[in-house]
Structures are given as C-alpha cells and as structure tokens.
C-alpha cells in the first residue's frame, strides 16, 4: 500500500463529514417550511415551501437569550417588542419594505386562477408549523385571523400534522372575489443566533364561502409599499387534486445576527449550508 493512502483516507473522511452534516441540517430546515394548502396557493415558478428572506431581528431585544424551542420566551419577547415598536399586526411590518422583508406574495402567484374558499370556516397549511412566531390571514384589507404564537395555537409542534387555522370567516370576501394573504414571521436559532424567517402567500378567491354573507368590510391598514412538490389543481377548487410531500433537501445560508435595526436580507434558498446550532 502507498504511504499516501492513509492521508487520502483522512482527506476523504474530512470532506464527507461536513457534507453529511450539511445534508442533515438541510433536512431539519426543510421540515420547518410550508405554504397555504387549503385554499391552495399557486406559484410563479416551481412550488416551494421556503421562506422568502431570512434576516436578523429588526427589533432590538435579547433574542439570543431564547432558544428556538422556547415558545414562551420568544412569544413574550415578541409581543412586548411589537407593542413598544408601535405595531398592531405583522402585515404592516412585512409589507413596509419589500427589499428587506421580501416581495409581496413571496413566491406565490397573485394572478393564479381564483380558488373557492373552504366551507369549513378554516384554512390549512401544507404541514405542521415547527417554529414559534406570529401569523395572520387577511382577505383584502380585512384581517380574519391573527395569533402571536401560531405553532402552539394551530398545531402539535410536529410537521406531520398539518396546521389548521381556525376560525376563518370568509364572509367579508365580496362576490367578485378577493385576495387571501397569509403572513408568518418565524423565529429560528441558527449558529447560536436567532433569525427571522418571512413567509408571504397570496391566494385569489372566487368570493365568500358558500352560504355566507357577501357584505364586504374593511379594517384600517397602513403599508409601505427550493423545495419541489407535485401539486395540481382544478380550475376553481381550493383543494389540491394531488399532493406529494416528498421533498428535496434544501440548503440555506444563515446570516450572523445582532440586535441592529438595519441589515441585508438573505435570499432563500442559497447554495451554501451553514450548520444549525440550538442553544
């Protein structure tokens, strides 16, 4: 045997280990993603469940004192900072700067074929939410669902059981149709730092759910400005004709975070894998 063979074997091992670590982290990151499933969001490109941007927290606070799994700590911090920063909803924040918080509607297509809203008075995510953080559903400018900790409120903490948002009142959607907008600001620990992950989905609706009122109301709103799955839809139904949950592992680059109020956003997904560390 050549004297260089042990060295080659060592190089091979040191090369494979980081790749395996990256792959394992990618699988755990994929499990956290999702999109509006019922009524079904369509996409401008391939179907993706990824966040649209990952950025450092934009509200100064002791974010890194909370672990990703500590919903109470993260929710308490978020609600206190939301009040002190003068926000009553996350749509106003996330739509205020599309360069920072990502494009309106994210990867979804606001010009897709309108879907019939479910008659069950709810909406369904493509999987269970596994990150703490607030979410909202709007019909045009009427907020019909809001919670500061959607993982706890609408799921069991696992990805296997899809999160069901309830109650959702579709009666404010006029007969001519409206736009359902879904927002989720997820909190995740990456490299011992807390980051914000932003989700925005848009689903055009045909009108109110069957048997509901067609009167439209409006709330005050001030605004500023991959993973592949097989999904096919009928022309008007909000329920998928078929759906595959088999996903290709996705890698992301996490930005090192601090409690600064200015930052560049990290587009999703990137090609570099940064191993995730929980506190």
pLDDT for position 157: 80
pLDDT for position 33: 84
Closest alpha carbon to 81 in 264, 277, 261, 263: 261
The yes-or-no verdict on residue 30 having pLDDT over 80 is no
Q: How does pLDDT run across 176-208, given as a tens digit for each residue?
A: 999 999 999 999 988 889 999 999 999 999 999
pLDDT tier, 209 (very low <50, low <70, confident <90, very high otherwise):
confident
pLDDT for position 28: 38
The yes-or-no verdict on residue 159 having pLDDT over 60 is yes
The yes-or-no verdict on residue 9 having pLDDT over 60 is no
pLDDT for position 279: 37
pLDDT for position 8: 52
Higher pLDDT, 2 or 171: 171
Higher pLDDT, 241 or 133: 133
Closest alpha carbon to 267 in 25, 21, 45, 51: 51
Range of weakest confidence among 9-13, 15-19, 214-218? 214-218
Highest mean pLDDT among 15-19, 196-200, 250-254: 196-200
Sheet holding 123-125, edge to edge: 36-38, 123-125, 164-165
Higher pLDDT, 69 or 277: 69
Range of weakest confidence among 185-194, 224-233, 236-245, 261-270? 224-233
Range of weakest confidence among 104-108, 156-160, 207-211, 250-254? 250-254
Please report, rounded to a whole number, the percentage of residues in the chain having pLDDT higher than 90: 54
Q: How many CA atoms lie within 13 A of 139 on its CB side?
A: 27
What separation, in Å, do the N-terminal and C-terminal C-alpha atoms of the chain show?
45
Q: At 198, is the secondary structure helix, strand, or coil? A: strand
pTM: 0.70
The yes-or-no verdict on residue 168 having pLDDT over 50 is yes
Per the CB < 8 A criterion, the answer to whether 137 and 53 are in contact is: no
Higher pLDDT, 13 or 26: 13
Q: At 83, is the secondary structure helix, strand, or coil? A: helix
Highest mean pLDDT among 64-68, 159-163, 169-173: 169-173
Per the CB < 8 A criterion, the answer to whether 272 and 255 are in contact is: no
pLDDT tier, 71 (very low <50, low <70, confident <90, very high otherwise):
confident
Closest alpha carbon to 203 in 119, 147, 137: 137
pLDDT for position 4: 54
Average predicted confidence (pLDDT) for the chain = 75
Q: Which two structure tokens, joined as six digits, stand for 217?
A: 């109301």
Stretch 147-160: mean pLDDT? 90
Q: How does pLDDT run across 92-125, given as a tens digit for each residue?
A: 999 999 999 999 999 999 999 999 999 999 999 9
């Amino acid at each position: 045997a050549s004297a260089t063979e042990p060295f080659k074997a060592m190089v091979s091992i040191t090369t494979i280990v980081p790749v395996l670590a990256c792959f394992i982290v990618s699988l755990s990151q994929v499990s956290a993603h999702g999109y509006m499933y019922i009524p079904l969001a369509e996409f401008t490109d391939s179907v993706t469940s990824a966040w649209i941007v990952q950025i450092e927290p934009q509200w100064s606070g002791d974010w890194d004192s909370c672990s990703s799994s500590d919903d109470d700590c993260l929710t308490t911090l978020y609600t206190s900072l939301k009040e002190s920063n003068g926000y009553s909803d996350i749509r106003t924040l996330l739509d205020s700067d599309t360069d920072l918080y990502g494009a309106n509607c994210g990867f979804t297509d606001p010009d897709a074929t309108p879907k019939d809203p479910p008659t069950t008075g709810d909406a369904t995510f493509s999987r269970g939410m596994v990150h703490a953080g607030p979410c909202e559903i709007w019909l045009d400018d009427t907020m019909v669902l809001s919670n500061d900790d959607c993982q706890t409120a609408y799921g069991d903490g696992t990805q296997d059981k899809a999160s069901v948002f309830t109650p959702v009142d579709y009666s404010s959607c006029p007969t001519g149709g409206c736009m359902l907008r879904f927002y989720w600001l997820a909190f995740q620990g990456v490299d011992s730092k807390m980051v914000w992950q932003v989700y925005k989905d848009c689903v055009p609706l045909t009108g109110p759910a069957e048997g509901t009122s067609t009167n439209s109301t409006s709330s005050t709103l001030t605004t500023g400005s991959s993973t592949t799955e097989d999904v096919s839809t009928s022309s008007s139904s909000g329920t998928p004709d078929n759906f595959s949950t088999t996903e290709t592992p996705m890698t992301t680059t996490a930005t090192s975070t601090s409690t600064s109020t200015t930052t560049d956003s990290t587009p999703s997904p990137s090609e570099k894998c940064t191993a995730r560390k929980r506190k």
